[in-house]
Amino acid sequence: MASLSSSSYLRIFLLVFFFCYSSVQAANLPFHPRDVLPLLPKQVSWPIINYLSSAVDLLPSFVGSVSSPNNTVEWKGACFYENTAWMEFHNKSGSEFGGGTLHIKVSNAHSWTWMLGTLEALWDVFPLFTNTGWGEKSNIAFLEKHMGASFEERPQPWYTNISVDDVHSGDFLAISKIRGRWGGFETLEKWVSGAYAGHTAVCLKDSEGKLWVGESGHENEEGEDIIAVIPWDEWWEFELNKDDSDPHIAFLPLHPDIRAKFNETAAWEYALSMSGKPYGYKVVNAYESCVLRVAVASVMTVWSKIQPEYAANMWNEALNKRLGTQNLDLPEILVEVEKRGSSFDELLTIPEQDNWTYSDGKSTSCIAFVLELYKEAGLFDPISDSVQVTEFTIKDAYSLKFFENNSSRLPKWCNDADNVELPYCQILGKYRMELPGYNSMDPYPHMNERCPSMPPKYYRPENC
């Protein structure tokens, strides 16, 4: 049982309210979620929908309001099977508005300590998206507090003049943005996935030795996010001088043995076949990760009221793929599941397949794009048929044992201004980038298809 002090009752109350928003008309609350939500950029919707995994999240039900000790609310939650809440009013704080304690009783709990952390974390989400020094500080503070990240300042200069000769096809770019709309978006994604980078791209050299960058999530002149293959100079110039999200970039060179496997022709074919397509989303099978459902779902719930069509389409499409059906809506899906003697839970644990094509193209988040290119280039051979890269997070990607592990083989310019030796080359950013778990895991069949992800420890069972 958790009894919270009156200092936290209001925020918890607001969050419980968020959960329950769907049919509550919030007549007597100080603000309406509709006033807050449009402040969140559209890009937030992607990571949010990425991590949704239960219909309950999308179709929340009103569980009641807590207003007095006599008025107890019970509900079945995503992570706790039996939950009760009631409100005890008192005036211990002696304030004008009085005070009270919201009691939340949970049982059959997964763990409730993280839940409190989660609720608090949500509270900190709102300033993350402002494109100001304050917004950047909020992102840093959030990642320090909720992920245990550290932001140590590096010596100047905060950028490196790389030598293109030392860069090869397949080398990985891990990017971390900490300001503005992308900053807030990445912060949430890092927090839910445990990754210390929020964006990725890949280097490609053409037959004349010119260096290019393949990137899913590149913003074109019309302001759309697309998949693009861009000359290095143009890409770097943008990151150095025009990207207002304060990008931090690490260059992760492939291990020579892995590089020897890399089929450049196949990689180019794949990259060019994807170029110009919209940057995609994916429905990560993070079913076990109920923190996502509890936390982000509360915002999502409100959002799905504002753009219900968009939310429902993506959700239904993903479920239809899993069932092998087409165009069933949610009630029909439920009937179909029932008919097959299966359960909704089982349906949700079916991993995403890399060859599923959605109505707006293949599923190509920034990391799925890079890893699919690796797959096409042969880096997952001989097990590539049993690896579904859409199940990988950015952390899973940089954890792969694909990268240079002999520091004497790193390029001369690698971290040349820094006094701390990193196993990869940070080429941009004021703060030193950390990538815990970097270069540590050999690929294996069905890798990452059953991995939970739960802040703040992100425990990963072996061979999940």
Ligand X SMILES: *[C@@H]1O[C@H](CO)[C@@H](O)[C@H](O)[C@H]1NC(C)=O
Total of residues contacting ligand X (CB under 6 A): 20
Range list of H helices, 20-110 = 33-36, 45-50, 55-58
Which is closer to ligand X, CB of 310 or CB of 358?
358
Q: Shortest CA distance to 87 belongs to which of 77, 102, 72?
A: 102
Which is closer to ligand X, CB of 94 or CB of 461?
94
Q: Shortest CA distance to 125 belongs to which of 245, 357, 300, 286?
A: 300
**Backbone φ and ψ of 73, nearest 5°:** -110, 135
256 is a site residue for ligand X (CB under 6 A)? no
Instruction: Find the shortest distance in angstroms from Cβ 426 to ligand X.
Output: 13
Which residue pairs from 381-387 have beta carbons closer than 8 angstroms and sit at least 24 positions apart in sequence?
381/261, 383/443, 383/444, 383/445, 386/445, 386/446, 387/443, 387/445, 387/446, 387/447
Where is 398: in which H helix or E strand?
helix 394-399
Range list of H helices, 262-307 = 264-274, 290-306
Instruction: Find the shortest distance in angstroms from Cβ 70 to ligand X.
Output: 4
State which amino acid sits at residue 353: Q
161 is a site residue for ligand X (CB under 6 A)? yes
Which is closer to ligand X, CB of 23 or CB of 408?
408
Under 8 Å between Cβ of 333 and 59: no
Interface with ligand X (CB under 6 A), residue from 8, 54, 263, 349? 263
Q: Could you tell me how far CA 68 lies from the centroid of its own chain?
A: 38
Contact map string, positions 321 to 350, toward ligand X, x by CB under 6 A = ------------------------------
Which is closer to ligand X, CB of 54 or CB of 263?
263
Instruction: Find the shortest distance in angstroms from Cβ 170 to ligand X.
Output: 13
Which is closer to ligand X, CB of 69 or CB of 148?
69
Q: Nearest residue by C-beta to ligand X?
A: 98
Instruction: Tell me the two tokens of residue 120.
Output: 């608090």
163 is a site residue for ligand X (CB under 6 A)? no
Instruction: Find the shortest distance in angstroms from Cβ 409 to ligand X.
Output: 5
DSSP 42: G
Which is closer to ligand X, CB of 130 or CB of 285?
285
Instruction: Find the shortest distance in angstroms from Cβ 97 to ligand X.
Output: 6
208 is a site residue for ligand X (CB under 6 A)? no
Q: Give residues 47-76 in contact with ligand X (rule: CB under 6 A).
A: 68, 70
445 is a site residue for ligand X (CB under 6 A)? no
Which residue pairs from 381-388 have beta carbons closer than 8 angstroms and sit at least 24 positions apart in sequence?
381/261, 383/443, 383/444, 383/445, 386/445, 386/446, 387/443, 387/445, 387/446, 387/447, 388/351, 388/352, 388/353, 388/354, 388/446, 388/449
Residue position matching structure tokens 């590539």: 384
DSSP 107: E
Contact map string, positions 350 to 369, toward ligand X, x by CB under 6 A = ---x-x--------------
Contact map string, positions 392 to 421, toward ligand X, x by CB under 6 A = -------------xx-xx------------
98 is a site residue for ligand X (CB under 6 A)? yes
Question: Residue 82: beta bridge partners?
Answer: 107
Which is closer to ligand X, CB of 89 or CB of 459?
89
Instruction: Find the shortest distance in angstroms from Cβ 348 to ligand X.
Output: 19
23 is a site residue for ligand X (CB under 6 A)? no
Question: Residue 278: beta bridge partners?
Answer: 226
| Binding stretches for ligand X (CB under 6 A) | 68, 70, 91, 94, 96-98, 157, 161, 263, 265-266, 269, 353, 355, 385, 405-406, 408-409
